[in-house]
Amino acid sequence: MSFRNVVLVRPGELTIKGKTTRKRFEQLLMQNMADALKTAGIVAELKRGYGRFYVYDSYEAVKVLRKVFGIKSLSLAVEFEFKNLDDLLEKSEEFFREKVKGKSFAVRTKRTGSHNFTSLDVNRHLGERLLKYASKVDLENPEVSVFVEIRENKAYLFTEIVKAYGGLPIGSEGKVVALVSGGFDSLVASWLLLKRGVEVDFLYLNLGGAVSRCYTIRAVKSLADNWCYGYRPKLYIVDFSGMIRELKTKVKPELLGVVLKRYMYRAANSIARRIGAEGIATGENLGQVSSQTLTNLNVIDKSSEFVVLRPVLTFDKDEIVEMAREIGTYEFSSMVKEICGVYSFHPKTHSSLEEVLKEEEKIDVNVFLESLANVECIDIRHSSLTDVGCTEEVQSLEIEEIPEDAVILDIRPSEKFQTENIPGSINVDIWNLEELVKKIGKDKKYVVVCDEGGLSREAAYILRQIGVKAYSLKGGMRRIKRHNGR
């Protein structure tokens, strides 16, 4: 038989676009598919037809192409030319007879072009030919679906349809800057924008240090490597530790979260202007934390000159986490811990623009401008973790149990420490950490504690850089409370 292996690719929403737009979208999809295949090291012939794309001689292409946005579904098929209905039926019988042997089946035919037979003719006659091999015909719940797709004088035979993710080809809807922490929400939000054809560049405002930077890079890279086909996404990193220190020193604690978000938006606006983006995006979710009430979001929004996109605004947290599992970012996002939450206590859920502007008058704007003067730019898909300084040392700082001889350093705000703490622990500001350790003694063993284990990883890393044996308590105080059933 003159069968040729082919992956039959079905585009999704782009097929309902106007002629000019559809042509442009199809060209983008071809480009993105080619990039995906090249990235995976797959050498295959790629062709475009009307309403279909064809990838020849590589069934391996399905796994990677189902992650190319703009594709609705794919099938592992065989292609052949036929002369007439009898020729079509004979070759189809040869292909399917072993597949339906002893099983129930149904024939499903689609046809485009001019022929002297109908799709129903193919269903009926091929069904008759295959019935002698099968147990029965079952149109409602067959064990094997026999698919025949006819396009002019060529036919495509297959038994499965592999669902892809649909959407629009990346590059069809402009560019945005997505504020990312590496956590579940911001990466799922970025994925949803990619699905709608947006080129997403990422901005990480680092409130911690080398450890937070490393975990965030790993998480963003897990998204970029598997979904950002057709362009070269950039991850911009800005050291925002000076900014958080400025805010912590001068802004009322209950308003710190809102003011911080406004400066984050301003930073995203700066990057957006620099790269020609048309909007900024966040993983904000309505009502999830204090800064994400409708009132506070309204105040925060007024700091941005660009449209603010929030794709996961109405999702439940468990829905977002489930999506993270589906798209492959869950494992890496679960290792990213919150940093900004450790700097605020009893945050205000309903702030006014007037009181926030009054707090912002206290801030030295030069601190903000200095943070933006040194922006790190990473070609996230084409850089390895080693290239960007994510060493094994940065990734092995956590400990699950506190040794009996360890000195416990609690770097949470004093208000939280006074409310609850580990007996015998010492409350210290992270910026005074090195000075305290030098007084106690660099020869001792230290375990650093914070809310979730994010900032304590940074602290442990800082101490290791000066030769101290230091660890971060995995999961922080929240893990202890969960363990104690509180």
pLDDT, tens only, 9-23: 999 998 888 999 999
Rounded (10°) CA dihedral 71, 75, 79, 83: -90
pLDDT, tens only, 114-169: 999 999 999 999 999 999 999 999 999 999 999 999 999 999 999 999 999 999 99
Sign of CA dihedral 270, 271, 277, 283: negative
Q: Which of 214, 340, 390, 450 is catalytic?
A: 450
pLDDT of residue 398: 87
Residue 450 among the catalytic residues: yes
pLDDT, tens only, 425-443: 999 988 889 999 999 999 9
Q: What distance in Å separates the CA atoms of residue 69 and residue 29, rounded to the nearest whole number?
A: 8
Instruction: Please compute the mean of the pLDDT values over residues 356-384 and round it to a whole number.
Output: 96
Residue 387: count of CB within 10 angstroms of its CB: 10
Contact of 53 with 169, CB cutoff 8 Å: no
pLDDT, tens only, 310-346: 999 999 999 999 999 999 999 999 888 776 555 566 7
Instruction: Please compute the mean of the pLDDT values over residues 242-263 and round it to a whole number.
Output: 94
Say yes or no to pLDDT of 57 above 90: no
pLDDT of residue 190: 98
Contact of 336 with 218, CB cutoff 8 Å: no
SS3 80: strand
pLDDT, tens only, 398-423: 888 899 899 999 998 888 888 889 99
Q: What distance in Å separates the CA atoms of residue 466 and residue 441, rounded to the nearest whole number?
A: 12
Mean pLDDT of the chain, nearest integer = 93
Q: What pTM does this model have?
A: 0.89
Q: How confident is the model at residue 174 (pLDDT cuts 50, 70, 90)?
A: very high
Residue 36 corresponds to which tokens in the numbers above?
Answer: 């995906």
Rounded (10°) CA dihedral 202, 207, 208, 211: 0
Please tell me the number of Cα atoms within 13 Å of 425 on its side-chain side. Answer: 23
pLDDT of residue 414: 85
Residue 460: count of CB within 10 angstroms of its CB: 26
Say yes or no to pLDDT of 102 above 60: yes
Contacts of 468 (CB under 8 A, 6+ apart): 437, 442, 444, 446
Type of residue numbered 263: Y
Residue percentage of the chain with pLDDT more than 90 = 77
pLDDT of residue 394: 63
Say yes or no to pLDDT of 1 above 70: no
For residue 216, which of 324, 312, 325, 329 has the smallest C-alpha distance? 329
Give the N- to C-terminal CA distance of the chain in Å, as an integer.
69
pLDDT of residue 210: 87
Instruction: Please compute the mean of the pLDDT values over residues 49-72 and round it to a whole number.
Output: 94
Sign of CA dihedral 134, 137, 143, 149: positive
Distances 68 to 40, 145, 197 between C-alpha atoms, Å: 12, 26, 10
Instruction: Please compute the mean of the pLDDT values over residues 207-221 and round it to a whole number.
Output: 91
pLDDT of residue 397: 85
Helical ranges in 107-183 per DSSP H: 119-131
Highest average pLDDT, of 47-51, 362-366, 454-458, comes from 362-366
Contact of 123 with 108, CB cutoff 8 Å: yes
For residue 193, which of 207, 214, 210, 179 has the smallest C-alpha distance? 179
Any idea which of 63-77, 197-211, 386-400 has the lowest mean pLDDT? 386-400
Distances 295 to 189, 254, 256, 264, 284 between C-alpha atoms, Å: 21, 14, 15, 18, 13
Instruction: Please compute the mean of the pLDDT values over residues 172-196 and round it to a whole number.
Output: 97
pLDDT of residue 340: 53
Say yes or no to pLDDT of 81 above 60: yes
Q: What distance in Å separates the CA atoms of residue 177 and residue 276, rounded to the nearest whole number?
A: 10
Say yes or no to pLDDT of 212 above 60: yes
Distances 12 to 165, 215, 229 between C-alpha atoms, Å: 9, 35, 17
230 torsion bin: left (phi>0), alpha (psi -120 to 50), beta (else): left
Rounded (10°) CA dihedral 412, 457, 186, 317: -60
Q: What distance in Å separates the CA atoms of residue 456 and residue 448, rounded to the nearest whole number?
A: 5
pLDDT of residue 50: 87
